[in-house]
Structure formats: C-alpha cells, structure tokens
Amino acid sequence: MSEDKRKEARKRADRLRAEFKEKNKPLDWFEALYQEADGDPELIPWGGDIGAGSLGKESLKAQNSTKQNSTFHNPWAHGQARLPLLEWLDRDEQKEWLKAPNSKRLALDVGCGLGHNAVALHKAGYQVTAFDISETAVKWAARNAGQFPIEWEAQNLLKMPEGWSQRFDLVSETFTIQALYGEERELAIKALTKLVSPKGKLLIICRGRRDDEIPKTPPLPLMPSELDKIEDYGFVSTFRKEYLDNKTPANLHFVAEFTAESDKE
C-alpha cells in the first residue's frame, strides 16, 4: 500500500468519524467507511485483502526474522493478521491452554473488519465467531474468507445477543476499543467482559499511552489504568506486554491477557 493511499484512508476515516460524532451517532461511521470504500481494501485504514500465505503460522515465521527484542518491524502492515496476535497465539502457554478436553475452544473476534484476525484464530485451532458493527464489513470478510468455517455476524458490541453471555473461551479484541470515546468506550469494555466464559480469556491488543499523556489525534490509545479496571469485573491479569512499532516517532502498544475467575458475575 502506498503512503499516499494510506494517508487518504486515514483522512477518510477521520472525516467520517467527525461527521457522525456531530450527528450524535458515534458508531455509525464504521458502516459509512466500508460503504465508501466500495470494495477497495486499501481505503480501509486497517484493511487489505486476504491473500495466500498472509495469515497464520506461515506469516509468523516469515515475520519473526524482522523482530528485534520486543520491537516489531511492522505490526500495521496491510492485508494480514496483526503480528502481536500471531505472536500471542504462538506462545507455548497459549498452545497448551488451547487444548480443550472434549472439543475445540470457542473464540470471538471483536470488530472483525475484513477478517484477517478471525482467520488467524481459526488456523490456530479455535472454533471462531467473528462480528463487526458494519454489515458491509461482515459480508466483505465472509466473501474474502469463505473457504474457512467461520461464523460471521453483524452485531453491535453494546447490544450483544443474550446467547453470547459467558459463551466464549477466548474473546479477542484488536484495535477496536481505541476507536471509541467516553461512555461508549466504558460500556464496550464492560460488554467484552460479559462474553467470556468462566476461566476463559480476554485478549486486548491496542495502541497505548501513559496515564498522563494526552493524544493529539484519533484513535484514543488505551491507558494502563483502563486495562487495570478490567480486573474489577472478575478477571485476573495473566499476561501483559508493551512494544513499539516502526513509525517515527514510534507508537506504544499493549498486549493484555486477562483470565476470568470461575465465579465471576
């Protein structure tokens, strides 16, 4: 993806975000963005078509050569599952936990976009449900990844189906909450916790900022204090890592794993 195209995609997203915030419809800009893209994945800032070899372990092995210590070469690359997710899926602790006693573990991919992370979860061994608030995005993802047995849904995180309550062994959220503000953001984080089964895991991968740092432009990176509050909903923090991308200046990111207590509400 050219830098000019990336800038165009970012400007388009910023414009729509502002327009729908003014209309007091802060979540509707996602659908408008996918509709305006009209089938061009490069007009989705986090998009890119699903291509052969761009997802799962093959991608991880290829990209491992670009990692230096805790700094990833390009976790924002277009058309692939996010590198931090691939790394988390490749951890020995995760592989061992994935071995469910009688059946595949159920995973929910939150804000699935064009489906890259959902496919990575499937390839890792999960039975995957993926949803996005944008119906256009969900249809696009299902078309891109039709060869994989993934359940695609158009849903709003703030209005989850009752049948999804405490259903999933893993709830994976990547770069979604950071696009929300104010009350919607707080409600969304709480909604995530209600989807995780007892002893299940909640995984959040996001742009990060220090608690005393004021962001200059959207998205609104998460603070450590926001992640810490998840423990108030009956979770224990079981893994956290921070890293920098390759931009100038570099952007801070967090990978945070929480495990639900068996008696969580």
pLDDT tens digits, residue range 180-234?
888 889 999 999 999 999 999 999 999 999 999 988 777 899 999 999 999 999 9
State how far Cα 148 lies from the chain centre: 19
Q: Where are the alpha helices (DSSP H) in the chain?
A: 3-22, 29-37, 57-64, 83-89, 92-98, 116-124, 135-144, 182-194, 224-228
| Amino acid at residue number 199 | K
Query: What is the arithmetic mean of pLDDT over 126-132?
Result: 98
> The domain 50-260: what is its CATH number?
3.40.50.150
> Is residue 69 pLDDT above 80, yes or no?
no
Question: Mapping DSSP to helix (H, G, I), strand (E, B) and coil, where does residue 204 land?
Answer: strand
Query: What is the arithmetic mean of pLDDT over 29-46?
Result: 91
Residue 139 corresponds to which tokens in the numbers above? 């249809």
First-to-final CA distance of the chain = 45
Quickly tell me which residue has 């291509």 as its tokens.
Answer: 51
Per-domain boundaries in the chain: 50-260
> Is residue 90 pLDDT above 80, yes or no?
yes
Query: What is the arithmetic mean of pLDDT over 127-146?
Result: 96
Q: Report the pLDDT value the prediction gives residue 265, as an integer from 0 to 100.
A: 57
pLDDT tens digits for range 218-232: 789 999 999 999 999
> Is residue 67 pLDDT above 80, yes or no?
no
Q: Report the pLDDT value the prediction gives residue 65, as an integer from 0 to 100.
A: 39
